[in-house]
Amino acid sequence: MSDKTYFENAYFIIGTAYAGKSTMVKELAKRHSGIACEENYHDNYPETLDAGEFPCLTYTRDLEDWHNFIRRSPQEYKAWIDGVKKECEILELRMLPEICNQGKTVFVDTNISIATLKRIAPENHTLVMLADPMISVRRFFERPDPEKQFLYKLILDEPDPEYAMQNYRKGLELINSKETYDEFLNSGFTTILRDENRTIEETVALAEKAFRL
């Protein structure tokens, strides 16, 4: 059985932050009586991660002083994020077969790379969602989730909060670069661009059309 046959009931959404990926996964799963593998669903991996195999994913787990997290250079921050994505892909590919075996349609907000998706995902089972790269930089700390507010407080507690914020935002700019945006845009997969004037229902319809549901 080929990988593409194995994942025939899985639909993957990739792209940039603030593009609506999490919302689409939840809405599609609701409307199609499916399973929503939402953002960071790999956190539910049942086994304790080995720091030798997953140095990036265990970095924050084993971190003794969280101020060191925000003090990293923008280049170090991006390298860590890139590493996290690669390690998340390993976990997702371990978890997804069992999830797909439940017999329901599975919608995945995924870290799996474009190259891997082209190998494992059936045709029309991958959707790209994109937002302006600078949205993530400008609005990163506007979201109320505890993780971002925790980081925001750490930055304010720094001896030079203004420098700490500039340093962190430079890291965000590297992560959410035009190069990354263009890589998604030119991936060959159907793409939905963020549109503030489009309703969730209208976006769901576009996603369903892309997935041929």
CB–CB of 136/180 below 8 Å?
no
Q: In what order do the strands lie in the sheet with 126-130?
A: 35-37, 106-109, 10-15, 126-130, 190-193
Kindly report the backbone phi and psi dihedral angles of residue 8, in degrees, each rounded to the nearest multiple of 5, phi listed first.
Answer: -65, -20
Nearest to 35 by CA among 100, 122, 125: 100
At 39 the three-state DSSP class reads: coil
> Which of the residues in the chain have pLDDT under 70?
1-5
3-state secondary structure of 11: strand
User: Which CATH entry fits the domain spanning 3-211: 3.40.50, 3.30.465, 3.40.30, 1.10.3470?
Assistant: 3.40.50
Q: Rg for the chain (alpha carbons), in Å? A: 18
Query: What is the rounded CA–CA span in Å between residue 125 and residue 114?
Result: 12
What was the pLDDT predicted at 191? 96
Count Cβ atoms below 10 Å from residue 66 Cβ, excluding itself: 14
pTM of the full structure: 0.90
The pLDDT score that the predictor gives to residue 1 is 46
pLDDT score for 3: 63
Query: What is the per-residue pLDDT for 85?
Result: 96
Give 26-74 pLDDT, tens digit per residue. 999 999 999 999 988 998 888 899 999 999 999 998 899 999 999 999 9
Give the pLDDT of residue 88: 96
